[in-house]
């Protein structure tokens, strides 16, 4: 960690100005402080957003959705009665992430903006294009177990680590952003993230000085079954090898609609509506789910050490859909009822 200036702005305007001038924002700090200790991030100025007013509330929206302040902690959000009732996939995803201590500190905005956990990003003895542009990608030809197989580029195969963002993607969440002008804009959560392409160091569609102020969820799909399935190397406190967030609405014996997002396999929280199109209007079956998985994985690019992720993703999707459609007879799914 290098010496840095620390300020705690009174309001968003001051914060935004500091960010425009190159400062780095901190909220829970559960990722940034680790990165600073390892000198992977070496900010000269850290702006603490945690005391900013008005960003810690969870409110209903006029259209039956929910507005989640950027500073709402992961623990508070996971335990919110409305979230548990109306967006159980989100509550489950949150509880599948990190540990109790970390969730107490981690915030909604910070969770969205956490950096990859690719081990080579954290190892300054090894080249990493995300950490040091044009130095190379060590994960390729290395241990890529935790790396992505979708949306990657020859420059970077890092996976986005968030569980929360995967659920939000399945829920069609929007990210509310305060621009430097003071105006607010919104982005679908999927558009917040940039694919690595030839510049993996550029990760977000945010301009200098912009601050995430909230995440807005649309009204829950009435009567849809929601589930979050996360497969990992131990039962808790591990990042996903593969995770699936599913919001599935049945119409009698056929699938009316399915909203699916994936973690652990994408360069960003992954969603592919063509997968959902395969399912809509069809009767659930293992064969149908396998077909959907094949569409999901049609462009998968794997390393030797993460080739297993393709079959694992396929089977995890089948398993999640068996539960969400009732095919497995599993009754532990949650209904996303209106708030």
Partner 1 sequence: MTRTFRMNEVQPRLLDETGQGIIGAPLVRPEGHLKVSGQATYAAEAKVENLAHGVLVRATITKGRVLRVDEAGVRDMPGVLAVHMTDERMIRNPAQGMMGESPVRDGKYIEYLGQPIGVVVADTFEQARDAAQRLKLEYSEEEAEVDPDNASETEWTDKEDYGDIDMAMDKAAHSVDEEYITAAHVAGAMEPHAAIAVWEGDKVTLHGSCQLVQFNVKELADALNIEEENVRILSPYIGGGFGSKLGISNEAVAAAIAAKDLGRPVRVVMSRQQVFDAVLRRTETTQRIRLAAEADGTLLGIEHRDRVSNLPNEGFSEPTNQATHFLYGGANRRYRQETARIHRNPSGSVRAPGEAVGMVALETAMDELAEASGVDPVELRLRNIPETHPETGLPYSARMLAECLKDGASSFGWDQRQSPRARREGDWFTGMGVASAARMNMLLPSEARVILTPTGAIVETDMTDIGTGTYAILGQIAGEMLGLPRELVEVRLGDSSFPKAAGSGGSFGAASSGSSVFLACKAIRDQIADKMGCGGDDLTLSNGLARCGNVEKKLEDLIDSDIVEVAQIKPGDTRKEAFSSGFGAHFAEVAVHAWTGEVRVKRMAGTFAAGRILNERTARSQCWGGMIWGIGTALTEAAEHDPRRGHIITRDFANYHMPAHLDVPQLDVKFLEERDDYANPIQAKGIGELGISGAGAAVTNAIYNACGVRIRKFPAHPDVVLEGLMAFD
Residue ranges in contact with partner 1 by CB under 8 A: 1-3, 37-39, 117, 119-120, 122-126, 138, 141-143, 145-146, 229, 231-239, 241, 308-309, 311-312, 315-316, 318-319, 322, 328-330
Considering the complex, what minimum distance in angstroms separates the CB of residue 76 from partner 1?
Answer: 22
d(CA 209, CA 18): 7
Q: What minimum distance in Å lies between the beta carbon of 241 and partner 1?
A: 6
Q: 169 vs 314, which CB is nearer to partner 1?
A: 314
Please give the Cα distance from 174 to 205 (Å, whole number).
13
Minimum distance, C-beta of residue 316 to partner 1, in the bound complex (Å): 5
**In whole angstroms, how close is the CB of 181 to partner 1 at the nearest point?**
38
**Alpha-carbon gap, residue 239 to 163, rounded angstroms:** 8
Tell how far CA 287 is from the center of its chain. Answer: 28
What does the block give as tokens for 159? 């996976």
Question: Which of 19/95 has CB closer to partner 1?
Answer: 95
Provide the CA 42 distance to its chain's centre, in angstroms. 24
User: Parallel, antiparallel, or unpaired for β 5-7 and 45-48?
Assistant: parallel
Residues 6 or more apart whose Cβ sits within 8 Å of residue 97: 74, 103, 111, 162, 163, 164
Minimum distance from residue 21 beta carbon to partner 1 (Å):
23
- Closest to partner 1 by CB, 119 vs 220, is 119
Rounded to whole angstroms, how far apart are CA atoms 25 and 206? 13
Closer Cβ to partner 1, 215 or 241, answer by number: 241
Whichever of 195 and 312 has its CB closer to partner 1, that residue is 312
Alpha-carbon gap, residue 32 to 43, rounded angstroms? 10
Q: Which of 40, 177 has the CB closer to partner 1?
A: 40
Chain centroid offset of residue 66 CA: 18
- Interior CA angle at 302 toward 129 and 284, to 5°? 130
Residue 119 beta carbon to partner 1: minimum distance, rounded to whole angstroms = 4
């Amino acid at each position: 960690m290098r010496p840095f200036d620390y300020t705690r702005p009174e309001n968003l305007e001051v914060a935004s100005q500091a960010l425009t001038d190159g400062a780095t924002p901190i909220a829970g700090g559960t990722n940034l402080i680790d990165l600073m200790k390892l000198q992977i991030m070496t900010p000269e100025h850290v702006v603490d957003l945690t005391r900013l007013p008005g960003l810690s509330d969870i409110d209903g929206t006029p259209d039956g959705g929910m507005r989640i302040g950027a500073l709402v902690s992961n623990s508070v959000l996971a335990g919110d009665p409305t979230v548990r009732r109306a967006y159980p996939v989100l509550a489950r995803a949150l509880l599948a992430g990190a540990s109790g201590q970390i969730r107490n500190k981690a915030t909604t905005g910070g969770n969205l903006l956490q950096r990859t956990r690719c081990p080579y990003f954290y190892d300054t003895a090894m080249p990493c294009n995300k950490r040091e542009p044009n130095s190379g990608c060590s994960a390729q030809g290395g241990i890529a177990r935790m790396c992505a197989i979708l949306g990657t580029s020859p420059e970077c195969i890092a996976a986005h680590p968030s569980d929360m963002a995967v659920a939000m993607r399945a829920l069609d969440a929007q990210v509310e952003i305060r621009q430097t002008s003071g105006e607010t804009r919104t982005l679908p959560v999927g558009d917040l993230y940039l694919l690595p392409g030839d510049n993996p160091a550029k990760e977000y569609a945010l301009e200098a000085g912009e601050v995430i102020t909230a995440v807005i969820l649309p009204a829950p799909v009435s009567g849809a079954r929601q589930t979050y399935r996360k497969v990992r190397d131990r039962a808790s406190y591990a990042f996903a090898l593969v995770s699936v967030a599913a919001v599935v609405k049945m119409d009698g014996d056929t699938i009316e609609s399915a909203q699916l997002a994936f973690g652990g396999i994408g360069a960003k929280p992954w969603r592919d509506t063509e997968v959902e199109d395969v399912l809509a209007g069809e009767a659930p079956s293992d064969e149908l789910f396998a077909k959907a998985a094949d569409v999901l994985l049609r462009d998968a690019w794997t390393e030797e050490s993460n080739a297993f992720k393709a079959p694992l993703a396929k089977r995890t999707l089948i398993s999640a859909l068996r539960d969400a459609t009732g095919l497995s007879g599993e009754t532990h799914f949650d209904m996303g009822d209106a708030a």
